[in-house]
């Protein structure tokens, strides 16, 4: 799957939004310019953001006149590998992009390490209405006993 396919088909970003708003993309800590010819593999780490400020932000943004300054570290075009197996990636969404798309991404569902989720929810346990028949601290303790990643979908009402 190409980076563009991930943005469009998995995250639900519209083509115009991808071109105008998703201006900074890193795969495994390396900037991505050609989102149609860079492909996602199992275990990859993606960072997405809007335009970043300053000269570094301009240089690191995708498809800009100064990208030649970082050509040695940029992800180059790749040959698409046929992969029909599900993959897991780690993704961070930054800045205004997180604000604009975070609710939709969480509504589509994400996987979270059980201990990471338990730690996050611990101080917010009084805000948990109910999940899997458990409330608050009971749910947090239950999550701590789980060994695998947990699929969650957040519904905002």
The count of domains in the chain is 2
Same-domain pairing of 78 and 115:
no
Chain segment 64-83, per-residue pLDDT in tens: 787 788 888 888 877 776 66
Same-domain pairing of 30 and 81:
yes
Give the range among 43-52, 104-113, 123-132, 141-150 with minimum mean pLDDT: 123-132
Same-domain pairing of 86 and 115:
no
Chain segment 74-120, per-residue pLDDT in tens: 888 777 766 678 888 999 999 899 999 999 999 999 999 999 999 99
Same-domain pairing of 9 and 30:
yes
Last residue of a domain, one of 100, 121, 137: 100
User: Domain range holding 154?
Assistant: 109-157
- 16-48 burial code (b ≥16 CB/10 A, e <16): ebbeebbbbbbbeeebbbbbebbbbeeebebbb
What DSSP string describes 132-144? TTB-HHHHHHHHH
Same-domain pairing of 96 and 113:
no
Same-domain pairing of 113 and 95:
no
Same-domain pairing of 70 and 145:
no
Calpha distance 37→76 (Å, rounded):
8
Please report, to the nearest 10 degrees, the dihedral formed by the alpha carbons of residues 93, 95, 97, 102 taken in order. Answer: 60
Same-domain pairing of 51 and 76:
yes
Calpha distance 74→83 (Å, rounded):
23
Calpha distance 28→32 (Å, rounded):
10
Same-domain pairing of 13 and 34:
yes
Entry pTM: 0.82
Same-domain pairing of 127 and 59:
no
Calpha distance 74→67 (Å, rounded):
8
Token pair belonging to 115: 């201990």
Same-domain pairing of 9 and 56:
yes
């Amino acid at each position: 799957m190409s980076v563009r396919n991930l943005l469009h088909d998995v995250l639900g970003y519209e083509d115009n939004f991808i071109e105008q708003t998703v201006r900074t993309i890193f795969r495994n800590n390396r900037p991505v310019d050609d989102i149609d010819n860079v492909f996602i593999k199992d275990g990859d780490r993606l960072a997405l953001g809007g335009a970043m400020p300053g000269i570094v932000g301009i240089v690191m943004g995708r498809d800009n006149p100064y990208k030649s300054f970082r050509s040695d570290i940029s992800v180059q075009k790749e040959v698409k590998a046929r992969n029909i197996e599900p993959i897991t990636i780690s993704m961070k969404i930054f800045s205004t992009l997180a604000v604009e798309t975070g609710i939709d991404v969480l509504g589509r569902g994400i996987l979270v390490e059980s201990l990471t989720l338990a730690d996050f929810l611990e101080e917010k346990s009084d805000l948990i209405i109910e999940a899997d028949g458990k409330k608050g601290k009971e749910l947090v303790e239950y999550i701590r006993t789980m060994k695998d990643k947990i699929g969650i979908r957040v519904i905002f009402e």
